[in-house]
């Protein structure tokens, strides 16, 4: 993440106090900014939450009254960053949190958004709030969602790649972070066997799997080396669907951070092709960094 110059943090302030998730997001931004010289913008919306309304194609918020303690809490958090030698500022808005974060990203040409996961699941069982869901889905730059209790320096990182262009970007980003944090790096790939290969017999199928696994391991070694990672890369490739592969990796490897990519959007505004990252957002119980493909554009009209 050497190219990070602008960081945007979505800050929750229940009762005028910085939430645990937001505190961890600020700690993560502090760690990153001290190593990259990035400017940090703390953004708080006076809307408690919002939901996506497909009819109006906008976020529908629930209004929260802005209190003096909100401004004081943001000012204190900003000054704490400034005292560490970090360029920092804060914004308070009465508009939708999701939209304002995306507007801030656009206006400041931000390189990454950092959000905190909620400590408890919502009533529908999702461990992410709707703001996190919407920002991950629509933000053009990478989004890091920090799990409560996590450290800014992950000990174990899992990168999930489909060997596409964005998959290679995922490996590059994960390897760069792993080198900076002296992390153990695991790269996961779900091998896909088409119907024709399945009908060719066990010998041909096994040969194809070996070929794809060998090509995957070679690619990962080259990508990690090019990203400057000097540690050992562990490769995991099995015949499974991408979602199951990532969930199995989380269960077996217990990572501190999972790095995933999203697919590009179709020509229809707001429509995405099959997207493993979005399907797993409400399931994974770890910090998650979502990387977007080159040229990704938000479908939302940010004005």
**Domain range enclosing 11:** 1-152
Residues 106 and 141 in one domain: yes
In this structure, is residue 302 part of a structural domain?
A: no
Instruction: Give me the chain's average pLDDT, please.
Output: 83
Which of the listed residues 127, 152, 177 is the one where a domain comes to its end? 152
Q: Alpha helix (H) ranges present in the chain?
A: 20-36, 68-83, 97-108, 130-138, 165-181, 195-198, 202-226, 242-253, 276-280
State pLDDT tens for residues 84-139: 999 999 999 887 888 899 999 999 999 999 998 765 444 434 344 567 778 888 88
**Residue 194 vs residue 146, higher pLDDT:** 146
| Statement to judge: residues 230 and 139 lie in one domain | no
Output the pLDDT for position 129.
56
Q: Residue 164 pLDDT > 50, yes or no? A: yes
The SS3 of residue 11 is: coil
Residues 56 and 170 both lie in one domain: no
| Other residues' Cβ atoms within 10 Å of the Cβ of residue 5 | 15
Instruction: Report if residue 162 sits inside a domain.
Output: yes
In a domain, 104, yes or no: yes
R_g (Cα) of the chain, nearest Å? 20
Number of neighbouring beta carbons within 10 Å of residue 124: 7
Q: What is the CATH number of the domain that holds 174?
A: 3.40.50.620
Whether 28 and 165 share a structural domain:
no
Q: Is the pLDDT of residue 271 over 60?
A: no
Please indicate, yes or no, if residue 167 is contained in any of the structural domains.
yes
Three-state DSSP at 158 gives: strand
Q: Is the pLDDT of residue 243 over 70?
A: yes
Contact 141, 105 (CB under 8 A): yes
Is residue 141 located within the same domain as residue 251? no
The SS3 assignment for 159 reads: strand
Structure-block tokens of residue 190: 């779900």
Q: How confident is the model at residue 266 (pLDDT cuts 50, 70, 90)?
A: very low
Count Cβ atoms within 10 A of the Cβ of residue 272 and give its class: 0-12 exposed, 13-18 middle, 19 or more buried.
middle
For the chain, the domain total comes to 2
Same domain, 186 and 130: no
204 or 186, which is more confident: 186
How far, in Å, CA of 21 to CA of 9, rounded?
Answer: 11
The closest of 21, 292, 290, 9 to 149, measured between CA atoms, is 21
Domain termination site, one of 137, 152, 167:
152
Task: Say yes or no to pLDDT of 265 above 50.
Answer: no
Residue 36 domain flag: yes
Q: How far is CA 137 from CA 11, 104, 226, in A?
A: 18, 16, 29
- Residue 175 has a pLDDT of 95
Residue 248 lies in a domain: yes
Asked if 207 and 170 sit in the same domain, the reply is yes
Give the Cα-Cα-Cα angle 36, 32, 287 (nearest 5 degrees).
Answer: 145
């Amino acid at each position: 993440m050497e190219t990070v110059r602008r960081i945007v943090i979505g800050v929750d302030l229940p009762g005028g106090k910085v939430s645990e998730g937001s505190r961890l997001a600020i700690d993560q931004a502090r760690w990153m900014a001290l190593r990259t010289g990035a400017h940090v913008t703390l953004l708080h919306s006076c809307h408690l939450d919002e939901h996506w309304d497909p009819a109006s194609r906008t976020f529908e918020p629930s209004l929260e009254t802005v209190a003096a303690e909100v401004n004081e809490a943001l000012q204190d958090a900003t000054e704490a960053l400034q005292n560490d030698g970090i360029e920092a500022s804060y914004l308070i808005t009465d508009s939708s949190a999701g939209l304002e974060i995306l507007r801030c990203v656009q206006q400041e040409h931000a390189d990454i958004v950092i959000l905190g996961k909620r400590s408890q699941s919502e009533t529908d069982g999702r461990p992410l709030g709707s703001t996190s869901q919407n920002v991950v889905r629509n933000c053009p730059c990478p989004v890091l969602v920090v799990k409560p209790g996590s450290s800014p320096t992950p000990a174990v990182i899992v990168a999930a790649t489909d060997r596409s262009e964005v998959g290679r970007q995922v490996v590059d980003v994960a390897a760069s972070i792993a080198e900076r944090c002296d992390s153990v790096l695991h790269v996961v790939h779900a091998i896909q066997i088409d119907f024709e290969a399945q009908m060719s017999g066990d010998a041909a199928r096994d040969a194809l799997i070996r070929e794809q696994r060998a090509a995957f391991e070679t690619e990962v070694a080259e990508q990690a080396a090019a990203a400057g990672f000097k540690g050992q890369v562990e490769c995991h490739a099995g015949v499974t669907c991408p979602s199951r592969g990532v969930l199995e990796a989380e269960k077996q490897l217990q990572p501190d951070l999972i790095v995933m990519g999203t697919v590009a959007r179709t020509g229809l505004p707001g429509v995405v092709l099959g997207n493993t990252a979005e399907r797993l957002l409400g399931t994974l119980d770890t910090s998650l960094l979502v990387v977007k493909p080159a040229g990704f554009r938000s479908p939302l009209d940010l004005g």
